[in-house]
Structure 1
Amino acid sequence: MKSTIIGLVLTFSTFVGATPNPITGSDTVVVRDPSIWYNSALGKYFVFSTNGNIPIWTSSAISGPWTNVGSALSSCSIIDLPGNCNLWAPDINFIDGLYTLYYAVSSIGTQNSAIGVATSPSMMPGTWTDLGEVISSVTGDVFNAIDPNIIDDTVGLQLTFGSYWNGIYQVGLYPGVNDQASPTPGTHLAGYSGRRAEGGFVYKPASQPYYYCFFSDGITPLIGATSRPPAGEEYKVLVGRGADGQGPFYGEAGNDITLDLTPPTGTPVLESHDNVYAPGGQSIFVDPVSGRDVMVYHYVKLSDAIGGPSYLGINYLDFSSGWPVVVA
Structure 2
Amino acid sequence: MKCSIIIGSLLGLLTNKLVAATPNPIAGSDTVVVRDPSIWYNSGLGKYFVFSTGSDIAIWTSSAITGPWTNVGSVLPSCSIINIAGNCNLWAPDINFIDGLYTLYYAVSTIGSQNSAIGVATSPSMMPGTWTDLGEVISSVDGDVFNAIDPNIIDDTVGLQLTFGSYWNGIYQVGLWPGVNDQASPTPGTHLAGYNGRRAEGGFVYKPASQPYYYCFFSDGITPLVGATSRPAAGQEYKVLVGRGADGQGPFYGELGNDITLDLDPPTGTLVLGSHDNVYAPGGQSIFADPVTGRDVMVYHYVKLSDPIGGPSYLGINYLDFSSGWPVVVS
Length-normalised TM-score, structure 1: 0.97
Pick aligned residue for 2:51 from 48, 51, 56: 48
Aligned to 1:163: 166
- Whether 2:254 is the aligned partner of 1:251: answer yes
CA distance, structure 2, for counterparts of residue 50 and residue 81 of structure 1:
17
2:316 aligned counterpart, secondary structure = strand
Q: 1:13–1:191: structure 2 CA closer, same or farther, 3 Å change rule? A: closer
- Whether 2:234 is the aligned partner of 1:267: answer no
Aligned to 2:195: 192
Shift in Å at residue 16 of structure 1?
Answer: 6.2
CA distance, structure 1, for counterparts of residue 81 and residue 10 of structure 2:
61
CA distance, structure 2, for counterparts of residue 166 and residue 28 of structure 1:
35
Shift in Å at residue 10 of structure 1?
Answer: 7.5
- Whether 2:194 is the aligned partner of 1:178: answer no
CA distance, structure 2, for counterparts of residue 173 and residue 39 of structure 1:
24
CA distance, structure 2, for counterparts of residue 171 and residue 94 of structure 1:
19
Pick aligned residue for 1:204 from 194, 202, 207: 207
Aligned to 2:302: 299
Pick aligned residue for 2:282 from 263, 270, 279: 279
Pick aligned residue for 1:87 from 85, 90, 94: 90
- Whether 2:39 is the aligned partner of 1:36: answer yes
* Structure 1: gaps spanning 5 or more residues: none
Aligned to 1:20: 23
Aligned to 1:226: 229
CA distance, structure 2, for counterparts of residue 12 and residue 163 of structure 1:
36
CA distance, structure 1, for counterparts of residue 23 and residue 329 of structure 2:
7
Deviations 1:113-156 (A, max 9, x none): 00000000000000000000000000000000000000000000
Name the aligned partner's letter for residue 137 of structure 1: S
Pick aligned residue for 1:235 from 224, 235, 238: 238
Alignment of 1:122-137 (within 5 A): 122-137=125-140
Segments of 4+ in structure 1 off by > 4 A?
6-14
Aligned to 1:100: 103
* Structure 2: gaps spanning 5 or more residues: none
RMSD: 1.6
CA distance, structure 1, for counterparts of residue 142 and residue 15 of structure 2:
50
Identity %: 87
Name the aligned partner's letter for residue 280 of structure 1: G
Name the aligned partner's letter for residue 314 of structure 2: Y
Shift in Å at residue 203 of structure 1?
Answer: 0.1
Name the aligned partner's letter for residue 258 of structure 1: T
CA distance, structure 1, for counterparts of residue 288 and residue 30 of structure 2:
20
Pick aligned residue for 2:141 from 118, 138, 142: 138
Name the aligned partner's letter for residue 269 of structure 2: G
